[in-house]
Structure 1
Amino acid sequence: MDALDLIDRKIVAELMQDATLPLARIAERVGLSQTPCWKRIQKLEAAGVLTGRVAMADPAKLGFGLTVFVGVEAPDHSTEWRDAFCRTVATIPEIMEVYRIAGDLDFLLRIAVPDLPTLDRIYRQLTDAVAIRNVTSYFTMERVKYTTAYPVDTRNR
């Protein structure tokens, strides 16, 4: 898919804010009738611009009140180690996000757990599965800002 036009950007912005909006409301907000709007949404999904629609939940109300960012330093940078590490983190549901990063650390993980014993279990599961040079944990005190919506430009240029 080529660059998104203004209407596509508006559709994406609306869906990122509230994916439960009725099609009629989205179409009205972006200046289309329902059928062309639906066809654009289907095209955005087929092109991989829209990758899914989910419900947002409060982690604390689900029993995951502790968020920990964990930095992982690899013992080496081989394909074998990286593949084993990626396979391992994919099997641990409390690991919500994994990023390969540049800098002093090699990977940054966002982990949601109910308590420290659960974090310790995950640490043991991870370090039992793959060799790790160093692990550094950062415990969150408060979530100041959180969004899943990217700041898509919806202005007419």
Structure 2
Amino acid sequence: MPNDLTPVIAASTRWLLAAYPAPPGALSRALAEAQARQATMLAAALRYPTSLDVQLLHLLAPSGSHRLDWLTGCDPHPDDTAWRTWVDETVVSWAACLLADPVLAARAHQALTATEHHGEAGGLQRLTDPGDRDAEAAVLLRHPDLLEAIACLHRPQLMEVLSVDSAELS
């Protein structure tokens, strides 16, 4: 049984970039994608902290993008349905929280050590300490007001996870 979060991270990143596109230009798109991918990777690792959690995700399947599409007013093209089934609503919501608040993202990065994915994180600099160019490239993707409809869906659960993990780190 698969033991990685790659399909969920890829689909959730793609959904975020479709809902909150980068300004025109290849560099802007690449920087926005890097930030979205870092946020979804961190959110997925916190949401599914053990290999058993990941295996259950693959067995039961993620929630899909239907509710997220409805909330953002997106009318997906019929050809887009395959990848949208791998979108995880909670991961996208948590990623939105992390994108909107770099301080929260840094706290989540610290909490990652309590998961089995701590070695997979790599650098999350663009997420936790975005530079000016990063902020310009992800102006919609990081806008707290625009993200609020998605972020508020599962923010309490994220805060609970971070509170528990922060207590374990102390």
Q: What band does the TM-score fall into relative to the shorter chain? A: under 0.3
**TM-score if structure 1 supplies the norm length?**
0.28
**TM-score if structure 2 supplies the norm length?**
0.26
| Structure with greater Cα Rg | 1
Choose between structure 1 and 2: higher helix proportion.
Answer: 2
Choose between structure 1 and 2: higher strand proportion.
Answer: 1
